[in-house]
Chains A and B, each alone.
Chain A
Amino acid sequence: MTVDASDRERLLDARIDKLTQALMYVAGELWTARDRQAVLERILIEGQTIAPGSVDSHRPDAALAEALTAERETFVARILDYLAPDN
């Protein structure tokens, strides 16, 4: 298949879009791991026993939820700053 210059540019744009979306997916998974680690640390700091399912079912209290939200918003903002320095 041959493509002209404008088609090449369009295809490149489409591929960058796909790459960006893949990056966001991986970032989401990374965030999920960071959140899990924060929950695990909280349970350990409180001296609770780690039982099967205790991290899964842990509901962050207001303070932890607020801290996670702030950290997450900064995390996303930094990704977007790289993708779109003009935002």
Chain B
Amino acid sequence: MNEAPLLQSGRSRLDFMVSASRGLGRLHGAVRQQVDALGIAPDDLPDDLDARDAFLCDQLAGSDAFHAADALQGYLGKEHGRVARDAFNEIAPAVLPELEALEAKGPATLTVDPDLVMPDYFDGVDFHSTLGGWDRHEQQGYIHGEIVHRLMVAKVFPLGDMFAQRRAVLKELPRQDYRDILELGTSSGHFTVALQQTFPDAHITGIDLAAPMLRQALRVANEAGWAWTLKQMAAEKLAFADDSFDLVTAYSFLHEMPESAIRAIYREALRVLRPGGSLLIADITPYAVQDKMTMWRADRSATHGGEPWWRESAMLDWAAIAREEGFADATGRGIAPKNFPWLVEASKA
């Protein structure tokens, strides 16, 4: 898809967000140095996350960088969604005809479920501090996928090419012959693209709760000529027959929900997988494999960054839960060098 043709005001505001994000990175670096200088050993920190946060906030009370980072993160969290939405609204008259034509073009299909009852963990939640979350704006898929992700996040992503990372994860799969793939939490289709590029002969089904996100995935597929089947559906209540897929996968999805939903998703994934089929989940690094200081930084960033379920999900042993829900061989491991993303791999016996 061509880069969003932003007007000068939208482009320059987004550029400012990128520079401010880089500035935030420098402030975080300064805070890290100050924490090191305090001589606090990670093992000496309180176990309880809230107590640890209170302790470190107290220790850093005199740090200008710490307070400025907090304020700047609050600004970026709230403002990035507004800037991206405004930038889109400026170009809407120019791009909407093309977006609508792409939706109608085929060969991909999208089935929206007007009767879908949104789960409580999703409904009305401002994910990533974006007002209204994933389905407030009719064009949230384009706004998030093509403006926030491509023109902002990709420029400040700390681990290199965020799109190459999605392709790299798929190289970890044990088989190369997947024909029917189900992606949970398709969103605007960035991981779906990696799936199709890695398995060009496979048929891909993608589901998501947010119809505006799926509409963008539909355009991405149609533009490339990929016959994705996209359905608005909850991953914990899949409307597919048993033994329908030979790969079920999700990227950066499970940390957006509570444990009960994650368990239900594992049960459903096991049901719809064929015997011998694979499960691959790629997501955030669990707190259990982080030292206490790294965990504090991640938790504070998530808590202040519009991630309502991050802490609950990051404290889970996702592989153990998968085993409890029926994936007997489930294992977890991180991708070097930062243990990110974290992979849960399993198969159906």
Contacts and interface: CB of A to CB of B under 8 A. Distances in A.
B16 A31 contact: yes
Interface in B1-29: 5, 7-9, 11-13, 15-17, 19-20, 22-23, 26-27
A82 B94 CA distance: 41
B26 to A, nearest CB: 6
A31 B14 CA distance: 11
Contacts of B17: 28
A28 B16 contact: yes
B324 interface: no
B149 interface: no
B151 to A, nearest CB: 13
B68 interface: yes
Given A36-B8, A39-B8, A84-B65, A17 B71 contact: yes
Interface string B61-75: 001110111111011
SS of B interface (majority): helix
| Contact size range, B | 20 to 34
A61 to B, nearest CB: 14
A15 B12 CA distance: 28
B72 A24 contact: yes
B15 A86 contact: no
11 contacts: A16-B71, A17-B74, A28-B79, A29-B13, A56-B90, A72-B16, A73-B22, A80-B23, A83-B64, A84-B30, A84-B65
Given A39-B8, A57-B5, 17 more contacts: A17-B70, A17-B71, A21-B75, A21-B79, A32-B16, A35-B8, A35-B11, A57-B7, A58-B8, A69-B19, A76-B16, A76-B22, A76-B23, A80-B72, A83-B71, A87-B30, A87-B68
Interface of B: 5, 7-9, 11-13, 15-17, 19-20, 22-23, 26-27, 30, 34, 63-65, 67-72, 74-75, 78-79, 83, 90
